[in-house]
Structure 1
Amino acid sequence: MLTEARTPLPYVSESRRACDRRPAPGYWRRLAPLLALLACVTRVPSFVRPLWNPDEGYLAVQAGMLAHGGRLYETVVDRKPPLVPWLYEAAFAVFGSGSLTPLRVCAVAAQLTTALLLASIAHRRWGPTAGRTAGVLYLLASVGLNPEDAQAATFEVFMLPWTAAALWCADRRRWGLCGAAVACAFLAKQTGGAVLVPVAWMLWRCGTPRRDLVRCAVGAALPVLAVALATDPAGFLFWTVTGSGAYASFTGSELHVLGRGLTNAAILAVACAGILPPIARALRVSRTGCGDLWLWLGSSAGAVLLGFHFFGHYYLQLIPPLALLGTAALQTLPRERLGTALLTSACCCALFVTWGLLAPRPELAHAQRVAQEVRARSAPHEPVLVWGMHPETYWLAGRRPATRFLTAGLLTNYSGGRDGPQVGEKYAVAGAWDVFRAEFATRAPRLVVDDSRGAPYGAQRTRSLRRMLAPYEVVGDVDGAVVYVRRG
């Protein structure tokens, strides 16, 4: 009933009283352990598999190459910024490269940090109950995707604390730190820069003087500039911004890609079943007064759409603003709705955690069998080439790649099931084939595995690679992956 609705507290930037709210003594001492326990429980499935998806494999191989003298954006390349590869490299340097468990622990810490920042924002705006609600809702929804997307220790998981930190700093008008957080979000993954939209809106709404705008801009620019100078400036610009035109295209397998997008959106909607109804109800009852949060959600949705691939892990970016909007909505509804929202979210979370514990991983099993064959037919010091979309094979086999291009996608534009007209050599990253041929000529691999398994980028459908395989002979087959060994 509308008469039972509680009056929403005003938006923080419009109420000095809301801005001055401080946690009661012991508030964080009680809340932080609860959120830490919840973060650990929700991510238990991440520890039951040696590897969850090819992105983890790519990062693991990159870290190994960097540890052995590779240079990012020169002899080690990817379309991603460097913070997460550097994190993997640091973890391997301290704990060894044989397991991703230290990175799984880092992912738990990242999710906990995000939850604490969201709780702090909600507490400041709506009070202690809202702080607890925001942190719990976020962690319960954070695993609400296919386990290979939600449980992996990859780019989005390490990007989210920085996006939340940007809103936290903007909420407190610490504009220099806010800009730095935006920069770090971008340096974890490019789409993290979408948080700049709500930050800019908050700057405008607060009527800050020019010096605050300058502080934010300088805070955002300096880390990016420092990273560019620490790597290769031209390579950094190319690989993270300008070199992905063909990749970020909707052409090719439109129905397949659209189906993936709708499926992942439906999965996330199930995970947020406790959050979405209060938001919808609050919109009908009253204004929530959360323009910055709606902009955060909208810019994050735009980031999901960017590139037209709709992978499940892209949707993780939507969960922090949804958790805060759900918390804001619950402030306007009868108190019993809070218990319903938390119970629904907990049940959905249990469903996804069970899925993560029990779901089979056939692609991982295939990569492990191929890696076993690679180990059997090559020596540890011999470079090998795995022509496919599973770079984790190198890491599982303990072999170094013969090229800087760890997937066939960089050389053919094949990605995520795209099998339309924009797959082939002419759609490769600019200049990639010249570099690939030179590497193949100077460091010819002992072993080549064509792991395309009928995909349109297969060796027999890629003219240049077919010519390069002329000195090789077929010696085996592993679940459709063809194994070549150099004659003599």
Structure 2
Amino acid sequence: MPLSPVAEHHTTAASAKVANWTRLVTVLVALTVLTRLPSFARTPWNPDEGFLATQARQLADGGVLYDTVVDRKPPFVPLLYRGAFAVFGDDSLWPLRVAAVLAVVVGAVLAASLAARRWGERAAWTGGICYVFLTVGLKPEDTQAATFEVFMLPWTVAAVWYAERARWLGAGLAVAGAVLSKQTGGAVLLPVLALLWQARAGWGAFFRVGAGAALPVVSAALAFDPGRFLYWIATGSGSYLSADGAGLKPLLRALAGTGLLTLAALPLVVALVRAVRSRAAAGPAARAPLHGTADLWIWLAASLGAATVGFQFFGHYFLQLVPPLALLGAAALHELTVRAATVALAATAFLACVFVGWGFTDSRAEVDHARRLADTVRSYTDHKDRVLLWGMHPEGYWLAKRSPASRYLTAGFLTNFSGGRGEARVGERYAMEGAWPHFERELRRRPPELIVDDSRGKRYGVQQIPTLRRHLARHYEKVATIDGSSFYLRTRPEIRSSSRASGVSQPR
């Protein structure tokens, strides 16, 4: 029986819509793969990847998160690494690179869906494509690494996507997913509540959002012991979150991060400025441009506020601004003619190509140093030996395939040193509460066969840390210096005198 004209029209429209979304998703996948190609050309990209990879191995060896395996981050991404290693092996990060590609695609598709609902089909394309381009708009070590923010972003976009459709429980669950990826992901709760208020959804919706956001986080706390969970993701980082004495370094880092992302989004920013000026000049009867963006401005402001927490201003912190900025850019391009919007989008694509090229040509000095350090560690130790890398680059453990002698994978836990803040408030007295007694027990119970001072002149070097300096003097002797990193091999009572007499220790 032939369809009626109305039914045929709806069928044709639905088929066209499916075809359009199929094309859009295909384009977003292709663009994401192309913009993230540099991530597959280098391992690791930054210490966070090395930290996560080392944690995953510790968990595989029977470690317990927030007890024998610790970090200041929530559990989702460490467990994701652990799961990937369990399925694909722990010698490569390529499965996490693929997972990062999928995370960007999911975020871009959700952003496109948000833009389509508000401004139409053309905005869907610009919103999704701008999202992909902006995810590489910072230093390559911050954008190409498969770390916390990359996996947090899809949850934040999903939270707003659910809230816009009045699916309040789903919005709350997505907020929880963002928080369990990284604490600052909770900033997306503000635009969710803004949408709830705009919809006049009532207290029932508010409680569904709250329950969805709270229950997964509370469940995680109960699973990992509430006291330890709270300490490691919140209360134990007081000194780390302080910028006292840091001078201008945090400010300069903040300017660098915002400057790079603004450069990557410059055509969108110009279009936004033009649209905002048009709004100011519009008469009372004129339709104001950028309609339907109040929650996006709240989202952008909340994300910027989240990036400032702790005054560290690492570049990857600013990735949190990408979703609202991409959507605001889509709204601004929607106000332009098709030709002007195409030019702006092409300029954004060109800038993304520049950042991708930077990814292929970025300095490999730190990666090469980490590999030389790992090679030296292997030459002095057996596979079963535990080692201590006293520095801020825990990727050495993963590259060397050696187990850490301590649950503290960087010297930052024990000295409060941070690359984002510099050398302000650094020393034993600024360590996390209770860290040094626990660390000393670890050294006594299972002494590391090799200790590597990888501080390379920084203020947290072992010679400036009295407790560790005394421990080295009693039980270790210096055997090598590679790239400014000093290697100390454990001496045993029966060979102490002979090794001191010869003054030489041979690699194993």
Check whether TM > 0.5: yes
Distance 2:144 2:421 in 1: 24
CA 1:284/1:148 → structure 2, altered by over 3 Å: closer, same or farther? same
Cα deviation code 1:431-470 (max 9, x no counterpart) = 0101100000000000000001111111000011111112
**Equivalent residue for 1:472?**
476
**Equivalent residue for 2:498?**
none
Is 2:426 the partner of 1:423? Answer: yes
Distance 1:192 1:381 in 2: 39
**Equivalent residue for 1:82?**
75
Offset, 1:321: 0.4
**Equivalent residue for 1:3?**
none
Match among 462, 465, 469 for residue 462 of structure 1: 465
**Equivalent residue for 2:396?**
393
Q: Structure 2 matches for 1:28-67, cutoff 5 A?
A: 28-67=21-60
Is 2:278 the partner of 1:285? Answer: yes
Aligned to 1:226, what secondary structure does the other structure show? Answer: helix
RMSD, matched Cα:
1.3
Distance 1:108 1:343 in 2: 22
**Equivalent residue for 1:365?**
368
Query: What are structure 2's unaligned runs of at least 5 residues?
Result: 1-13, 280-287, 493-508
CA 1:107/1:364 → structure 2, altered by over 3 Å: closer, same or farther? same
Offset, 1:268: 1.1
Distance 1:279 1:393 in 2: 44
**Equivalent residue for 2:302?**
299
Offset, 1:417: 5.4
Query: What are structure 1's unaligned runs of at least 5 residues?
Result: 1-20
Q: Once the two structures are aligned, what percentage of the paired residues are identical?
A: 53
Distance 2:160 2:271 in 1: 22
Deviates more, 1:261-270 or 1:442-451: 261-270
Alpha carbons 1:35, 1:136 under 8 Å: kept: yes
Deviates more, 1:422-431 or 1:250-259: 250-259
Distance 2:360 2:236 in 1: 38
Cα deviation code 1:201-248 (max 9, x no counterpart) = 111111112211111111111110111112121111111111111111
Distance 1:418 1:176 in 2: 38
Alpha carbons 2:243, 2:421 under 8 Å: kept: no
Offset, 1:257: 2.1
**Equivalent residue for 1:16?**
none
**Equivalent residue for 1:382?**
385
Which of structure 1's runs of 4+ aligned residues deviate more than 6 A?
none
How many residues are paired up? 468
Is 2:231 the partner of 1:238? Answer: yes
Distance 2:227 2:176 in 1: 18
Q: Structure 2 matches for 1:299-448, cutoff 5 A?
A: 299-416=302-419, 418-448=421-451
Aligned to 1:24, what secondary structure does the other structure show? Answer: helix
Alpha carbons 1:74, 1:232 under 8 Å: kept: no
Distance 1:203 1:482 in 2: 57
Aligned to 2:452, what secondary structure does the other structure show? Answer: strand
Distance 1:23 1:486 in 2: 70
Distance 1:421 1:261 in 2: 17
Offset, 1:22: 11
Match among 114, 131, 140 for residue 133 of structure 2: 140
**Equivalent residue for 1:17?**
none
Is 2:114 the partner of 1:111? Answer: no
Alpha carbons 1:419, 1:455 under 8 Å: kept: no
Distance 2:66 2:308 in 1: 26
Offset, 1:384: 0.3
Cα deviation code 1:247-278 (max 9, x no counterpart) = 11111332122212211221111111221111
**Equivalent residue for 2:93?**
100
**Equivalent residue for 1:18?**
none
Distance 2:16 2:453 in 1: 59
Distance 2:418 2:263 in 1: 27
**Equivalent residue for 1:487?**
491
Alpha carbons 1:60, 1:392 under 8 Å: kept: yes
Is 2:190 the partner of 1:202? Answer: no
CA 1:22/1:252 → structure 2, altered by over 3 Å: closer, same or farther? farther
Q: Structure 2 matches for 1:178-217, cutoff 5 A?
A: 178-217=171-210
Distance 2:264 2:307 in 1: 17
Deviates more, 1:74-83 or 1:280-289: 280-289
Distance 2:419 2:440 in 1: 25
Alpha carbons 1:175, 1:215 under 8 Å: kept: yes
Offset, 1:315: 0.7
Residue type matched to 1:462 in 2?
Answer: I
Aligned to 2:122, what secondary structure does the other structure show? Answer: helix
Distance 1:366 1:420 in 2: 22
CA 1:176/1:321 → structure 2, altered by over 3 Å: closer, same or farther? same
Residue type matched to 1:486 in 2?
Answer: R
**Equivalent residue for 1:25?**
18
**Equivalent residue for 1:71?**
64
